[in-house]
Chains A and B, each alone.
Chain A
Amino acid sequence: MERVLLVGSKERLEEVLETIRELRVLHLEEFTGTEKGKPLEGSEEISEKLISLRSVLSRLSEEIRQVYSELNPIHKITEEEIEKKEKEILNIISRLQSLLEERDKTKSTLNDKKSEINLLRILESLDIRLDVFHEYETIDYKVGVTQTELNEEMLKSELNSDEFEIFTGFHDGKNILAIFYRKELSKSVERLLDRFGFSELEEIYKITKKYRSGHPSEIINSLEMELHEIKENASRLEAEILSILKENLFRILAYEEYLKAKSIVKEAPLWVGVTKETFLLEGWVPSDSIDSLSSLKDIFFTKIEEDENSEPPTLLENPQLIKPFEALVNSYSVPRYHEIDPSSLIFVTFPLFYGLMLGDVGYGMLLLILTSSGILKSFLEKLGFGSSSRVISKILLVSSVWTIIFGYVYNEFFGFEILRNILPYPSFLPVHRLGKEGIKELFLITVTIGIAHLYLGLIMGFRNKAIEEGLRKAIHEKGGWLLILTGMTVLVYGLILPMVTGSQGISGSMELFVLLIISGSFLLVSGGLGIEIVEIPSILSNILSYTRLMAIGISSAVIAVSFNEMGIGSILSGNEILGGLILLSGHSINLALGIIGPGLHSLRLQYVEFFTKFYLGGGRRFSPFGLERKYTIPRR
């Protein structure tokens, strides 16, 4: 990464920015020192256009997704063509805008009519004409829902009067009551209704005011006719929107990209220093791309010495196969510029751990098919994982290979131990995960893997520390921890493992353990890191944490075997369909668990056990000025 300064005549700023935008090699830094520039002319107009276009696009997101999947491949458009047809495109967009407005209006009338029909149905259940709901001088009325069914006799005795009339009905599981009474009675009627848990339906009066006469059923009929028309209108609108999109989607998306490309150039001067006649533009360029900047004519171009205050942005460069694993590192933290990029290490250990846990040829092959065919990717996209879907799918693709390899080691095919009958095995294989001996072997293997992983982490931590703060510091800190890790290793192999396997411990290991821990602590304390001593037991828990590689694997194997026993049991007792269903659904559930569980636990071992030994992160990602062109071809 090189820090560069570009200086040129102010008049040429826009042109220079446009060139840099297409090169996509310069990470722009905010210029400090002189006055900052102002957005270029026309920037407001462009951002206004962009905002209104984006609001249309976001309201159409559902339709766009639908149309997009049908239109393949992408048809790119040149910027010249966009400029030539800008008017036409703007017309299409405003047509879409008015269609959207109309659609919103139709939707709201549709909802209004529906709720009116609903209320009218309530009145229909009372079987009264709307004419009765007048404004009377002496009579008042109420319509509402009651808890219990009421009858006239009951009310008569309660009110001591017969100067009222009620209508009752039943709608949507509720008792409906309309009561007409003399105004003098209103107090006692209200009190009485309260006792019966009456709640008034205020909305009904809107209906009775709107439709003053006729029977509710008649009005419902005419409303339903209207509703039908409105629905037809709505689907006509939807169809028109879709047909416009089908014809013009790429043009619209290209126009958005065109505007975005323009707007970043117009806004960029806010980051650029200016004097009366010149501009000063500062940024970072990857060392191997520096030549491409020299294509800028009549621009003064120079490298600046790195100073201590400015940390360069980090551009991770890994082979295509390892690229997806950068996402795992970045989601922890972006590496600093001088730090080791752990992506390639994770590329080895993450899938390895994953395979160790899932370890089943059947699941592995299924996962391989799901990931390589893109089924998993599109499934994740539907779940809303967005751009991470591709990354997750690729990581699982690599992991599935290890799953198959360890499936062979464990002799498991969907939980059935049948591979041994088909494939040749060396004498030390298979490791039978569900037997006592196999568990002990796996315990030893996983702990050993863990210790190796921790050593690797600490050694890299030593390297980072030595480069950044000198060898002395590295020996005190990471050296101390290496001694403690060695001590814990002695403890694990000499005492804990024999304890678990039920054999005799190795004599003298306790003394060696104590000696190593004390000397490690001495290094830490003498380096001024006394407080870190409280962390010593965590190294042991780090080592033992790797036994999860065994434990989680066994649990997934046990689930598979249990479903097999249930399924095969049903099939043998003559219930083939049930047995088949058990096998199918059981293994689908187990595969789903098998994708999530081992994935998270493998990641945890990287983040918690491994990264804490050497990795700090906190860098800035290299993000070059410019944009990824998907729908447009830039002007020559």
Chain B
Amino acid sequence: MEVGVEGYKAIGAALAIGLTGLAAGIAEKEIGAAAVGAMAEEERLFAKGLILTVIPETIVIFGLIIAMRLLP
């Protein structure tokens, strides 16, 4: 079975979203754990914790844009 150009593009797009998602997850897991810990001690740190936790998320959006570029 042969994979055509479209197929490679689809794989590329999937990798772009999948890997960035994974990376964001790895980055967020530690920040999130620390943020929840801090929040347990002081509830008003919710907003700061949220901000710090979601910072790595942006890389998924970069992945998304690359994927959209690959699959017009």
Chain A positions within 8 Å of B, measured between CB atoms, are 331-333, 439, 443, 496, 499-502, 541, 544-545, 547-548, 551, 600, 603-604, 607-608
Check if B51 is an interface residue, CB within 8 A of chain A: yes
Contact A502 B54 (CB under 8 A): no
Known: A500-B69, A500-B72. A544 touches B51 (CB 8 A): no
Cβ contacts under 8 Å, B64 to chain A: 547, 551
Cβ contacts under 8 Å, A604 to chain B: 50-51, 54, 57
Distance (Å) between the CB of B66 and the closest chain A CB? 9
CA gap between A477 and B57 in the complex, in Å: 27
Nearest to A538 among chain B residues (CB) is B58
Given contacts A331-B44, A545-B61, 5 further A-B contacts (CB under 8 A): A500-B68, A500-B72, A544-B65, A547-B64, A608-B54
CA gap between A333 and B50 in the complex, in Å: 13
Check if B23 is an interface residue, CB within 8 A of chain A: no
Interface centre among B46, B47, B51, B58 (most CB of A within 10 A): B47
Contact B51 A608 (CB under 8 A): yes
Contact B61 A544 (CB under 8 A): yes
Within 8 A of A (CB), among B10-49: 44, 46-47
Q: Give me 15 A-to-B residue pairs in the complex whose CB atoms sit less than 8 angstroms apart, sorted by A's number.
A: A331-B46, A333-B47, A439-B68, A443-B68, A541-B58, A544-B58, A544-B62, A545-B57, A547-B61, A547-B65, A600-B50, A604-B57, A607-B50, A608-B54, A608-B55
Cβ contacts under 8 Å, A607 to chain B: 47, 50-51
Contact B61 A501 (CB under 8 A): no
CA gap between A18 and B46 in the complex, in Å: 36
Cβ contacts under 8 Å, A439 to chain B: 68
Nearest to A334 among chain B residues (CB) is B44
Nearest to B52 among chain A residues (CB) is A608
Contact A551 B61 (CB under 8 A): yes
Contact A496 B65 (CB under 8 A): yes
Interface of B, secondary structure class, is helix
Known: A331-B44, A501-B72, A502-B72. A548 touches B61 (CB 8 A): yes
CA gap between A122 and B68 in the complex, in Å: 69
CA gap between A499 and B71 in the complex, in Å: 11
Nearest to A328 among chain B residues (CB) is B47
Interface size class of B (residues with CB under 8 A): 10 to 19
Distance (Å) between the CB of B19 and the closest chain A CB? 16
CA gap between A607 and B46 in the complex, in Å: 11
Nearest to A499 among chain B residues (CB) is B69
CA gap between A544 and B59 in the complex, in Å: 10
CA gap between A600 and B62 in the complex, in Å: 20
Distance (Å) between the CB of A136 and the closest chain B CB? 57
Distance (Å) between the CB of A92 and the closest chain B CB? 35
Top 3 nearest A-B pairs (CB, nearest first) are: A502-B72, A332-B47, A541-B58
CA gap between A607 and B58 in the complex, in Å: 14
Distance (Å) between the CB of A199 and the closest chain B CB? 38
Contact B44 A500 (CB under 8 A): no
Cβ contacts under 8 Å, A332 to chain B: 47
Cβ contacts under 8 Å, B69 to chain A: 499-500
Cβ contacts under 8 Å, A496 to chain B: 65
Cβ contacts under 8 Å, A545 to chain B: 57-58, 61
Cβ contacts under 8 Å, B65 to chain A: 496, 500, 544, 547
Contact A603 B50 (CB under 8 A): yes
Cβ contacts under 8 Å, A544 to chain B: 58, 61-62, 65
CA gap between A77 and B57 in the complex, in Å: 54
Nearest to B53 among chain A residues (CB) is A604
Cβ contacts under 8 Å, A501 to chain B: 72
CA gap between A496 and B61 in the complex, in Å: 13
Cβ contacts under 8 Å, A443 to chain B: 68
Distance (Å) between the CB of A183 and the closest chain B CB? 57
CA gap between A545 and B57 in the complex, in Å: 9
Distance (Å) between the CB of B16 and the closest chain A CB? 13
CA gap between A377 and B34 in the complex, in Å: 29
Cβ contacts under 8 Å, A603 to chain B: 50
Cβ contacts under 8 Å, B46 to chain A: 331
Nearest to B58 among chain A residues (CB) is A541
Cβ contacts under 8 Å, A547 to chain B: 61, 64-65
Contact B61 A331 (CB under 8 A): no
CA gap between A547 and B57 in the complex, in Å: 12
Nearest to B54 among chain A residues (CB) is A604
Nearest to B55 among chain A residues (CB) is A608
CA gap between A317 and B61 in the complex, in Å: 37
Distance (Å) between the CB of B17 and the closest chain A CB? 10
Nearest to B61 among chain A residues (CB) is A544
Nearest to A436 among chain B residues (CB) is B72
Cβ contacts under 8 Å, A608 to chain B: 51, 54-55
CA gap between A545 and B64 in the complex, in Å: 11
Nearest to A496 among chain B residues (CB) is B65
Cβ contacts under 8 Å, B62 to chain A: 541, 544
Cβ contacts under 8 Å, B54 to chain A: 604, 608
CA gap between A551 and B58 in the complex, in Å: 12
CA gap between A500 and B44 in the complex, in Å: 40
CA gap between A600 and B57 in the complex, in Å: 13
CA gap between A439 and B58 in the complex, in Å: 19
CA gap between A499 and B62 in the complex, in Å: 13
Distance (Å) between the CB of A287 and the closest chain B CB? 28
